[in-house]
Structure 1
Amino acid sequence: MSFITAYCHLRENVCSVNGELVATLDKSSEDAWFKQIYKAQEFVYPKFYKMDTLSQAGYLASELIKRAAPYIVNDYADDEIALIFANKSSSADTDLRFINSYEHNGAPSPSLFVYTLPNIVLGEIAILNKWYGENMFAVLPKFTPDFFLTHTQILFSTGSKTALCGWLEILGDKIHAFLFLIEQAGTGKPELNIENLSNIAGPEIIHN
């Protein structure tokens, strides 16, 4: 049996952890939304500023989950934490920015080209935390609870002990980021099943 032990939602103007609001967009700020969260939470990781928006969202949500469940850093070996992410637009947001840099600047931007694959966010999280477990990034038509249930079960049967999962859909000004931690023990936590995962994800994730 597996359990959903922590989760984070990140939208265009709100960010919450385990259902509790942790940040709201300040429209009067000169900082971009993700930068506002980064500063407000007092994160210290200079590479954040070089990331594309997909990787920034993954970084912020994963760090907030680590704060909600700090024990994972010490309770699991570096090869026991799996990463299972998905979205429907792949790296299209960065791809479009890359094309724009070529068309308007006369040369493509190397700093954008680095992020023209969606699985780069997995590398960013793995490098930061020195996690060497299994990882995958799938491109799906929509958020599918079955996908995460099936793949966590497979990975748990082959040596993984926990899984950080995520739906990271970012395109233009639309942000639907939902990360959640799956563990094989979780007293008082929701069991991992389709109904519970759908309820925690919420209608904005399920129907978009």
Structure 2
Amino acid sequence: MKFITAYAHLKENICAVNGEMICRRDKDSGDSWFKQIYKQQEFVYPKFHKMDVLSQAGFLTSKLIKRANPQFAEKYKDDEIAMLFANQSGSAETDQKFVHAYRNGAPSPSLFVYTLPNIVMGEIAILNKWYGESLFAVLPEFDPEFYINHCHILLSAGSEAVLCSWLEIAGNQIDVFTFLIEKEGENRSEFTADNLSKIAFAGNLHKTEINANY
């Protein structure tokens, strides 16, 4: 069997881990929403400030999952943790910035790097020294069966855990759902399409609250 052992939601106004809100956006702050979370959670990783929004969201939610389940990374070899990410718009947010910079001069090479959506997984791999399999897909919408099927392949081919994410950011719309799949999970949700849908949907019930019943 496979289990959902930790998960995080990141929306326009809230950030929650395992169904419990840990941060609420301060609209009067001069900091961006992601920077507010970074500061509130006392993360220290200077490269964060140079990342695009997809990579910042992936960094934050993956760190929060590690904090919620601190033993998981220590249980596995560095090539036994895979990553499976997807979204609807690829790197469109950074693509638009690149086009704007190109039209107004020479865009920086660092900006160009983030015109590939899978860079978020590279950032997480570098941070954690994970060398497992990785896949980033562009899908019309969040599809539980996609994660079920591909996690089955990854876990059957040598991976022991899979960090998954639906990572959609378009303008002011933020829909990030990151979750960890493991082969063992005491008192955790079984990794089924129904359970995954319920947990994913829990993050959309309210803009300012998370329903912790899931």
The code of the aligned residue for 2:127 comes to: L
**Alpha-carbon offset, residue 107 of structure 1:** 1.9
Alpha-carbon displacement from aligned partner over 1:66-117 (angstroms, at most 9, x marks no partner) = 00000012111100000000001000000001111122x3222322111001
Task: Give the alignment of 1:1-208 within 5 angstroms.
Answer: 1-103=1-103, 105-202=104-201
- 1:204 and 1:19, CA in 2 relative to 1: closer, same or farther beyond 3 A? closer
Q: Secondary structure at the match of 1:8?
A: strand
Retained in 2: the 8 A contact 1:4–1:186?
A: yes
**Percent of aligned pairs with the same amino acid:** 63
Moved over 6 A (4+): none
The code of the aligned residue for 2:163 comes to: L
Between the aligned partners of 2:101 and 2:108, the Cα distance in structure 1 is: 6
Between the aligned partners of 2:67 and 2:203, the Cα distance in structure 1 is: 25
Provide TM-score, normalisation by structure 1.
0.96
Moved more, 55-64 or 67-76: 67-76
Between the aligned partners of 1:174 and 1:99, the Cα distance in structure 2 is: 21
Retained in 1: the 8 A contact 2:9–2:203?
A: no
**Alpha-carbon offset, residue 204 of structure 1:** 6.5
Structure 1 gap ranges (5+): none
Q: RMSD across aligned C-alpha pairs, in angstroms?
A: 1.3
Alpha-carbon displacement from aligned partner over 1:43-76 (angstroms, at most 9, x marks no partner) = 0000000000000000000000000000012111
Structure 2 gap ranges (5+): 205-214
